[in-house]
Structure 1
């Protein structure tokens, strides 16, 4: 009988099903093997996300794997942001059903496998922010279904491959922030589906090909920071689909077409600054009603008036700086009135143009969201409008280098958020207003080169965050207020030069420990130069010339190991030149001319460099190097016949004095040795005001667990209230059952009672008594720090991610500087040097202002120099710090030293920058935090940087779309410098480690550069 239709259908489906079963089985095995090969190529998986990739579960249930429900084949591979190290296995090319692999934000290296070209089902390939090298594979033509290719943030080289020409479905092409060269290929115009083209931050040259204008769906074109030249294709201005045009920092020339914005109705971001464009700003800009950011700055060639911008109601960022706009007329700034309609405006920069006329009062009606206003370096005149004080959201106000006159309006006192205020280089007069003290967030104040008079207001002492203060070139008079020297953050500059200040330079100047530059030159100051100037350990430039200082040159200047430039000229200094000045190795310029100095001029150090030394105008100086052409110092001859008896008397008296001095020294040494021997077995605590056990018991609710805030090697720390101190305190209760706890108590008391520094936790009192059970009890009472320890900020350990407290880069930099200054103080400024021996995050506390305070001196070493040898008073035997932070030589029995503290400091820096503990479980087989950083430094910082410091997506978009603020490059330089210091401090060889003097100097330079880039203290 002829088979029925049902029979044939049965045979067909049965055969087809069996074939598919075999195919799927083989496919499953292929995918499983390919994934295991991928796992083998991963050398480091710090988060353990590949732990689930084992035979106990089906690979479709492995972390990051998505399979198709029907075929059970791998369709998605999502392992983004897991800090994976290693390479991409070519076996990934066997995942034939793979559509969306996302391996972005890892630390993968090596070349992109050519085998990926076999994945014809591939739709999106994301390898963003890795360390991939080599060229972009040429055989991606096989991935004809590819819609998104994101290779941003790698180290790829070569040209954009011609193979991309065949990817007709490609919608997103991102190759920014690599090392690509050559020209933008014309075949880009064939990618008809392309919507996003981002090839910024490379080394591409030549013109933008006009073929790009055939991409009718293009919404974003980002070519910022390349070497592109020629004219910007005018055809792009006719593409209504464009929302972002980012072409800043290239070499484009020509002018902007007058009607260019008539068709760009959807444009949100137009950044073409930093090129060589000329001509006027097109009036048609008013049609770009959707625009949010307009960057035409740093061209130097744009001219004419700025058209009305009032219709741009979504405008947030306006940058027109560094051009030649305006013609110094009264109508130049009329466009500012139109900006009052832009209620979302945050940044306005018209800096360095040719704008004239008065600043209109309507400027006070600008957006309440305005945070930065730059109008400096123009020809603006008249009084500063009092209405400007309405902009209470301002963080930066720069009005320098204009012709403003009159007084600073008192309404400036309303700027309670302002951090940077520049009024220098104008014609302002009157007194510096007392309301300047209301600006509590101010870190940079410059009013130099004006005509201010009267006294410096004492209220300036309220600006406790000031780091840069320049009041020079005015007519200020009176004494220097002591409040200036209480500005503990003042680190970049104190410039009071070219005024009429009188009185002395107060000895409180020594409180400015971290100041980099002091200039009080050309005033009417008198009296001695205070010895306390030597306490300004961060000082590099000191200008005291043109005053009436008398007395001698203070010997304490030799404490300024980083001093590079010293000018004491045109004063009334007398006496000898201290020969120890030649020991300041970095001193490059010394001007001591026109004083009343006498005697021999040294010959070493700066005194041996005639180009850096000025000694003229001191008629009684002699000697020195021959190039100074000074008279030789006279040798006084004596006639032996007349003075032989006198000589004999002098010799006898000298011998007697010498014998007497030797006798006294020997007696003192013998007595010290005897006292030390008597006291070696019974250490005593120097007198410190004590509290009773009852006080502490009551203040902590019986040492309740709810008041326990931490524990350490020798005891526990409780939060408590003391009636006697009327404050919240931290109480460290010693566990006296621990070996060495008694000695730790003694050493910590004796260490802390004699040292004073703003970055040290202050000891308030102590308790040495018995508890209610009659057992011995010892405790130390400290200031309580509300913000806890650095450990808690770096490693919060809470599941409530949204509420975690995180430190930004500026805060971390400030904390690093604080700790460095403490170590400088302990190692070099204490009468008896102190080795901390346990620098780590849990021993760094943070006060209400996030200022770091170093604590826990329980294992500190007191070092005294006797006969040029070091003697250490040790708190306990066998304890030399904490694992991970203690230097390797301590584990081999070496003596504690300043080198050891520097190692701990270096590791702490690396921990703050990477967010990784030195005892992280990822460190094995000889690897440690130093090696982990060193491998990726400096080319792949993104791979080792704490993820909380990595720019967010919004910030990445800003970089991709023009990098308007230029902040990322400054941040990168800052990070590179910080990592370099951390590595230099934590090298294995102790004597090769960076010393704390160089560290503090370098950190001051980093902080200065960081601030100059517009970053502010948190």
Structure 2
């Protein structure tokens, strides 16, 4: 009995010991896991260079990491389950240590400024279910390593800079429900293997550069609800298998190159379709009759195709909100073309109706007024609709847009339009409307666009139009409007895009209040009966670019204030009664492209500079008292010039007596003509360069950069700031360099850059997209250059990551650095030896070397560049503004400012040494006579590995654990280095040292360098 009790006690004791041991292990495991999570989060924090909202203030030891901002932990194990930092405007790269959050299920990093590639370590997160990286600046190819995240359900990589093709191994993401990678730079075709993602419900590949056809295998995705492929280069017809996806709710193919016709039964086999958007393609044939069965349809956009025939009845539709049929060949110009509109009367959700630019005929049906008052936009322009505009349209009180232009409408503008107080756009131009413009138009206080041109309106412009205080565009041309221009019109501060009153019968004077239109771009009051003086206040329209006053009865002189309109491009004052002379100051308007003052009563000398030096850009005929000007105008010489010419003729007769003197004067004339032609050619080249590049306005750039927002600021240079922006959504980002015109030399810098870049086209030079030389909204000069955007930013950011992040994974290996050096060398070789005249950069440094998607180097920033003649070797320029950057600028620039290509060679040598050592030439150790050149020279050739950038060595040895802090044995590293790698390093150091010697005459030139680099590269690749 006792033995049995003892045995029981032993068993209980054993179980208690085991339980204690197991619990201790579990606690230790959890504690270790918690430390791993905390460490990973802190490493992630270190990878952030800018935290404007200070969200990381809570990420410190004063609280448990589960309480940090954006962190959610599991209740049981206290491990990080979710990390949500969306919309925090963070700047930095995604730390690879995030791969250590082994319990992570949800990762939200969208709406930030993360750059670089997606780290491979994310593939270790096997519990990850949701990943959103939308709206960042990530680069590289599609991160196929995420396929290791076997439980991933939702993947969104929208609005980044991913390149390359969608991998054929996409089928590895077997559990994906949502796959969205729209608005990137993907190329190639959609892989058929995508049809193996059987769980997929959402597929969005829009706004890339995908091409080819839609693979028929997508028809296998029986759970697909949303398919979005717009804004690509996809072509061919839609596979029939897609029309059998009965689960499909959203089908969007806008702006591709699809063709073919729609199957008659498509809306029967797609019964759940709610959004069908295929505009901007080449579909033909008719609209299937089965469309009437699409009872759940909410948005139908089949515009801008080649569809023909009648529109079927849409009677079963109840939920339609947008119906877009424009830009087709629908209808037959017959009276029953618009019968289908009757079936929309019960569509209570209808918001947008667009039937414009078709062949619809007949009268505008009055029952349109019975449409839901929810209707906000009605487009029917560009058809053959006739008859009167129904007064009942005034009942659609929520109308914001009404566009009926380019039809054959007759009658008057209904007075009931005064009830449409939400109206913002009213376009009735190019019809046969008559009567007076109703005063009730002034009730449309939110109107910003009013187009009534090319009708038969009579009477006065109603003064009530001054109540339209949001008006930006007013077009009343080609009517029979009489009376004077109401001064109230000039009290509309927003009137900016255009004011066109031309080809009417307006009389009176142009009011002095015209100067109140500070923001007007285009003003045309030509072909009227306006008289009086051109008001001096016209010079207060500071953004005016186009001014047309021709065909009136203006008298007096041209106001000198015209010369203050610095952005003026066109001026037409012809067929008036103007007198006096042409102000010489007009020749200083650098953007003036067209000037017409013909058939007035002008007198005096015609200027000869600016626009006046191009006979095809000016017209002064019909002014018999004008003289001078360029010879092509064939005007009589001015009296003073005639006297000079007679004196010169007599002098030549006297000189002809002596053969020697005659010979000398002839030689002098020949040389003089040569120099004048050369100057004229350079001047013309400058102007033509600006003309070629000048394509955008201040307003365009303001909009492209969100008002030059600090979020879009990517750099600040000597003469201005560089912003990231979007001019064209289809073309992605550009870099916009805005010059600070208060800085000395900035205006000159702009002109020099334009000239230097006129014919400078090379693969390794940053390409100029366009430029802007205008005035801002305060009337100040505004100059900017627009360059192609380089998603991998500058070499500076790769060589010296912010905050000294040695763990950064975006390390440049030797191969990449070699290619960058070669690319920069090719650029300088082109500038120094292949241009008509050598171009000197004067400020070569890592921050001026930008890297594209493929890490190809592009030399940027010609703000300090100067064209140098080759006569007598190099011309010495007094360039007090050229100093370059300390550390990169050659010693001789500090003494005499004698710039030469040899100065660029010094900067190039320092650049190579910096790339190889990882040390800036401005570090604290390089003072008191020490410099980067001497630092490298002391170790050359035997001890080079002691000064080589540690990250470079670690990459080349494939030993990521080798860092500066660990200080591995140098000889051990040397043994591991490949022979080609050592030879390459030795050769590059040799060039860097040879280029950066103190004496300019002893430096290599770029012809020698490029030859040597080609040899080095061939040897490195074993060619």
Q: TM tier, shorter chain?
A: 0.5 to 0.7
Deviations along 1:108-152, one digit per CA (max 9) or x if unpaired, are 111111111122211112212111111122222321111111111
1:999 aligns with 2:776: yes
**How far is 1:328 from its partner?**
0.6
Once structures 1 and 2 are overlaid, which stretch shifts more, 986-995 or 356-365?
A: 986-995
- Whole-angstrom CA distance in 2 between matches of 1:505 and 1:424: 25
Following TM superposition, by how much is the alpha carbon of 1:1004 offset from its aligned partner in structure 2, in angstroms? 13
Q: Which residue of 1 aligns with 2:520?
A: 515
1:356 positional shift: 0.8
- Whether the aligned pair in 2 keeps the contact of 1:399 and 1:422 (CA below 8 Å) is yes
Please, which of 282, 288, 299 is the counterpart of residue 282 of structure 1? 288
What's the counterpart of residue 670 of structure 1?
none
Structure 1 partner of 2:270? 264
CA distance in 2 between counterparts of 1:97 and 1:599 reads: 86
Sort the Cα spacing of 1:561 and 1:85 in 2 relative to 1 into closer, same or farther, 3 A.
closer
Change (3 A) 1:575 1:100: closer
The 8 Å contact of residues 140 and 163 in structure 1, kept in 2 or not, is answered as: no
Within a 5 Å distance, the mapping from 1:98-247 to structure 2 comes to 98-247=104-253
Measure the CA separation in 1 of the matches of 2:641 and 2:779: 48
Deviation at 1:523, TM superposition (A): 1.3
Q: Could you say which residue in structure 1 is the equivalent of 2:993? A: none
- Asked if 1:613 corresponds to 2:399, the answer is no
The change in CA–CA distance for 1:524 and 1:44 in structure 2 (over 3 A counts) is closer
* SS across alignment from 1:389: helix
Other-structure match for 1:551: 556
* Structure 1 position 66 matched with structure 2 position 72: yes
CA distance 1:972–1:420, shift in 2 (3 Å): farther
Alignment of 1:654-803 (within 5 A): none
**Does the 8 Å CA contact 1:137/1:161 hold for their aligned counterparts?**
no
Deviations along 1:75-130, whole A, 9 cap, x unmatched?
A: 22222222222112212222222211222222111111111112221111221211
Structure 1 residues 972, 324: CA separation in 2 closer, same or farther (over 3 Å shift)? closer
Q: 43-52 or 318-327, which moves further after superposition?
A: 43-52
SS in 1 for 2:345: helix
Tell me the distance in 2 between the aligned counterparts of 1:78 and 1:530: 61
3-state SS of 2:323 partner: strand
Deviation at 1:7, TM superposition (A): 8.6
Q: Quick one: distance in 1 between partners of 2:21 and 2:640?
A: 119
Aligned to 2:123, the other structure's residue is in SS state helix
1:396, 1:421 within 8 Å by CA — same for their partners in 2?
A: yes
Per the alignment, residue 565 of structure 2 pairs with 560
Match of 1:577 in 2: 582
Q: Is the 8 A contact 1:186 1:212 kept in 2?
A: yes
CA distance, structure 1, for counterparts of residue 131 and residue 719 of structure 2: 28
After superposition, the Cα gap between the structure-2 partners of 1:426 and 1:14, relative to the gap in structure 1 and judged at 3 Å, is same
Question: Does 1:49 find its partner at 2:55?
Answer: yes
Please tell me whether residue 458 in structure 1 is matched to residue 458 in structure 2.
no
State the distance in 2 between where 1:987 and 1:127 align: 40
Contact kept? 1:75, 1:98, Cα under 8 Å: yes
Contact kept? 1:516, 1:1004, Cα under 8 Å: no
Match of 1:314 in 2: 319
Query: Within 2, Cα distance between the matches of 1:206 and 1:1002?
Result: 50
Which residue, 56, 80, 91 being the options, matches 1:85? 91
Matched with 1:768 is none
Change (3 A) 1:69 1:637: closer
Output the CA distance in 2 between the equivalents of 1:518 and 1:607.
22
How far does residue 548 in structure 1 lie from its aligned partner after superposition?
Answer: 2.2
SS at match of 1:249: coil
Residue 591 of structure 2 is matched in structure 1 by 586
Q: Deviations over 1:429-484 (max 9, x none)?
A: 11111211211111111101011112222222222222211111011112222222
C-alpha displacement of 1:63: 2.5
Rounded to whole Å, the distance in 1 between the matches of 2:482 and 2:721 is: 57
Quote the residue 2:348 is aligned against. 343
- Find out whether 1:331 has 2:340 as its counterpart: no
1:288-437 equivalent positions in 2, closer than 5 A:
288-299=294-305, 301-437=306-442
Aligned partners of 1:232, 1:1003: CA distance in 2, in Å? Answer: 54
CA distance 1:125–1:934, change in 2 (3 Å): farther
In structure 2, runs of 5+ residues without a counterpart are 644-697, 751-771, 784-1023
Shift of 1:598: 2.7
User: What is the DSSP-based 3-state SS (H/G/I as helix, E as strand, rest coil) of the residue aligned with 2:481?
Assistant: strand
Q: Would the alpha carbon gap of residues 19 and 317 (structure 1) be closer, same or farther in structure 2, given more than 3 Å must change? A: same
| Structure 1 contact 930–986 (Cα < 8 Å) conserved | no
Q: Deviations over 1:835-866 (max 9, x none)?
A: xxxxxxxxxxxxxxxxxxxxxxxxxxxxxxxx
For the pair 1:26 / 2:32, whether they are aligned, the reply is yes
Go from structure 1 to structure 2 and tell me whether the alpha carbon gap of 1:909 and 1:17 turns closer, same or farther (over 3 Å shift): same
Q: Secondary structure at the match of 2:369?
A: helix
Alignment of 1:784-863 (within 5 A): none
Distance 1:12 1:355, change over 3 A: farther
The alpha carbon displacement at 1:530 in A equals 2.6
- Assess, with a 3 A threshold, how the Cα gap between structure 1 residues 987 and 91 changes in structure 2: closer, same or farther: farther
Q: Give a deviation string over 1:566-597, Cα, whole Å, max 9, x none.
A: 11111222333333322322221111112222
1:937 aligns with 2:723: yes
Report the Cα offset of residue 60 of structure 1: 2.6
User: Offset at 1:220?
Assistant: 0.6
In structure 2, what is the Cα distance between the partners aligned to 1:272 and 1:208?
14
Gaps of 5+ in 1: 639-815, 821-904, 919-926, 942-968, 1007-1018
- 2:543 match: 538
Contact 1:491 1:1004 in 2 (8 A): no
Deviation at 1:540, TM superposition (A): 1.5
1:962-1013 residue CA offsets vs partner (Å, 9 max, x unmatched): xxxxxxx87899x989x958x545987684599996223999999xxxxxxx
Cα 1:13–1:255 shift into 2, 3 Å: farther
Q: Distance in 1 between matches of 2:709 and 2:335?
A: 54
Contact 1:555 1:578 in 2 (8 A): yes
Residues 365 and 938 from structure 1, CA distance in 2 versus in 1: closer, same or farther, beyond 3 angstroms? same
1:680 aligns with none
Cα RMSD between the aligned structures? 3.5
With over 3 angstroms needed to count, the CA separation of the structure-2 counterparts of 1:95 and 1:580, relative to structure 1, is: closer
Residue 565 of structure 1 and its aligned partner are, at CA, apart by 0.9
In 2, Cα distance between the equivalents of 1:365 and 1:22? 75
Q: Distance in 2 between matches of 1:86 and 1:247?
A: 35
Q: 1:996 to 1:932 in 2, by over 3 A?
A: closer
Aligned residues: 702
Return the alpha-carbon distance in structure 2 between the equivalents of residues 298 and 8 of structure 1.
82
In structure 2, C-alpha distance between the alignment counterparts of 1:987 and 1:267, rounded to whole Å:
59
Matches within 5 A, 1:455-494: 455-494=460-499
Residues 1005, 84 of structure 1: CA spacing in aligned structure 2 closer, same or farther, 3 A cutoff?
Answer: closer
Maintained 8 Å contact 1:910/1:930? no
Contact 1:320 1:351 in 2 (8 A): yes
Q: Secondary structure at the match of 1:504?
A: coil
Spell out, residue by residue over 1:475-532, the C-alpha distance to the aligned partner (whole angstroms, 9 max, x if none).
Answer: 1112222222222322222211111122222333233232222211111222332333
Contact preservation (8 Å) 2:775, 2:781: no
Q: Is the 8 A contact 2:178 2:202 kept in 1?
A: yes
In the other structure, the counterpart of 1:524 is 529
Q: Describe the shift of the 1:88–1:998 C-alpha distance in structure 2 as closer, same or farther (beyond 3 A).
A: same
